[in-house]
Amino acid sequence: MVNLIGVGHYLHGLYGPIAFTREKRYLWLSERGDNLPLVATKRWLGKVFLVGLWVLLVARPTPAQHEFSPSSLEKGVLLVASPSLDDPNFHQSVLLIIEHGRGGTVGLILNRPTDVLLSDVLQDLPMLKRTTHRLFAGGPVGRTQMVLLFRLEGPYPDARLIFSRIYVGTPRVLERIITQPKPTETFRAFAGFAGWAPGQLEHEMLEGAWGVLPKHSFDIFDKDPATLWSDSIARLQAPRTISNH
C-alpha cells in the first residue's frame, strides 16, 4: 500500500508539485493553466433504461455486487461512471486506475479524445511530425500536465508498471517506441488526470456513482473510445442480473 507521501512523490516525479486539500473533491496540482476542451456527448436515448439498470445492479444481492463495492478498487481496474452521474468532469466516463492506496486514488479517463494533435503539443519530438496521434483529456486535475500511458513488451528504465504490460512513462519511452516500433507496443497521451483523497472514491462508490470492471476487461488501447462506456455498462454483469430478476 502507498501512503500519502508515497503518492505525492509518485505524482511529483511525473507532474510537478501537488497540493492536497480535503475541501476540494479532487487532488489539485499547484500549477494552473488553461483547460483543454473535453469531448463529452450526451446520449439521452436510452438513458432512463440505463439508470434503471444501474439501480437494479446495485440493489440486488447478486455476484455483480462486488463490482459496486469499494473493496474492488485496486491499481489496474476500470472505473465506470453510473448513468446518473451528471458531473460534467466524469459524465459517461471510464477511467483506468493507475494508483490506489492509503494516500488516495489516481486515474485516467480513457474515452475523452480531443482534437489536439500530439505533434502540436510535443513539438520538440520531431518523430511525431506527420503523425495523427491525438491528445486525450485524462481528467480535471492538472490539465496542462501530460501523462503518457504505454503498452510495452517488457520493463523499461523510464516506465512505471501499472499492471501486466501497461506502464506510465516519460517522453524517452515515447521516443523509443516511435523510433524503434514493435507490433504490440503502443501509447496514449493524456492531458491531466483524476484524483481522490483517501476515502473519497470509496464514499462515492457507496453512493452508487461508480462501478468497477476487473483488469483485462478490454484492450484499452484498441477499444473504440466512443463505445467504451456503453460497452462497460453492458459488461457490469447485466445479463446475469436481468436473468435473475
Q: C-alpha angle with apex 223: 219 to 224, nearest 5 degrees?
A: 170
Beta strands in the chain (DSSP E): 18-19, 28-29, 78-81, 94-101, 104-109, 113-117, 134-137, 141-151, 159-163, 166-169, 186-196, 210-213
Q: Which SS3 state, helix, strand or coil, does residue 212 take?
A: strand
| The pLDDT of residue 47 is above 80 | no
pLDDT interval class at 67 (50, 70, 90): low
Please return the burial class of 231, using the count of CB atoms within 10 Å of its CB with bins 0-12, 13-18 and 19+: middle
Evaluated on CA atoms 72, 75, 78, 80, the torsion sign reads: positive
Give per-residue pLDDT as tens, 36-46.
332 222 332 23
| The pLDDT of residue 35 is above 50 | no
Neighbouring C-alpha atoms within 13 Å toward the C-beta of 223:
17
Domain 4-32+63-243 has CATH 3.50.50.60: no
The model's pTM: 0.72
| The pLDDT of residue 117 is above 90 | yes
Q: Give domain limits for the chain.
A: 4-32+63-243
DSSP annotation of 177 reads: H
